[in-house]
Amino acid sequence: MKYFLAAFFLTLLYACGNPAPDQKQMPLLPELTIAAIHAAYEAGEYTAEDLATAYLARMDSLNGPLNAITYRNPEALADARRLDEEFVATGKLRPLHGIPLLVKDNINTAGLPTTAGALALKDFVAEDDAFIIKRLREAGAIIIAKTNMAEWAFSAMHTESSTFGTTRNPYNLAYVPAGSSGGTAAAIASNLATIGLGTDTGNSIRGPSSHNALVGFRTTLGLISREGIVPLYLRNDVVGPMCRTVADATRMMQAMTGYDPADPITQRGADHANIDYTGSLDLDGLKGARIGVLRELSEADVHPEISALFNQALADMERLGATVVDPVVVPNFAELRKSQWCETFRADLEDFLATYVKNDSIATLEDIVRIGSNNDYARRNVTFSLTKEGRYGDLPEPCGDTYTDARRIAFRDAIERTMDSLELDAIVYPSWNHPPALIDSFEVQYLGDNSQIICPHTGQPGFSVPMGYTTGDLPAGIQFLGRMFSEPTLVKLCYGFEQGTLHRKEPNPK
User: Is 91:223 a contact under the CB 8 Å cutoff?
Assistant: no
Examine the residue annotation and report whether 104 is marked as an active-site residue of this protein: yes
**Catalytic one among 161, 181, 204, 209?**
204
Examine the residue annotation and report whether 180 is marked as an active-site residue of this protein: yes
**Catalytic one among 61, 155, 162, 180?**
180
What single string gives the DSSP state of each residue in 253-302? HHHHBS--TTSGGGGGGGGGTT--GGGG--TTTTTT-EEEE-HHHHTSS-
Count of CA atoms in the C-beta half-sphere (13 A) of 130: 28
User: Is 487:223 a contact under the CB 8 Å cutoff?
Assistant: yes
Cα separation of the two ends of the chain: 31
Q: What are phi and psi of 496, to 5 degrees?
A: -60, -40
User: Is 248:241 a contact under the CB 8 Å cutoff?
Assistant: yes
Give the DSSP letter of residue 322: P
- Other beta carbons within 10 Å of 7: 14
Maximum alpha-carbon separation in the chain: 66
* Closest of 458, 475, 482 to residue 509, by C-alpha: 475
CA 201 to chain CA mean position, Å: 11
**Catalytic one among 104, 181, 209, 298?**
104
Spatial distance between the Cα atoms of 419 and 424, rounded to a whole number of angstroms: 5
- Other beta carbons within 10 Å of 180: 37
Spatial distance between the Cα atoms of 375 and 165, rounded to a whole number of angstroms: 8
Count of CA atoms in the C-beta half-sphere (13 A) of 186: 38
Q: Is 508 helix (H, G, I), strand (E, B) or coil?
A: coil
* Closest of 388, 473, 484, 496 to residue 169, by C-alpha: 473
User: Is 68:190 a contact under the CB 8 Å cutoff?
Assistant: yes
Active site residues: 104, 180, 204
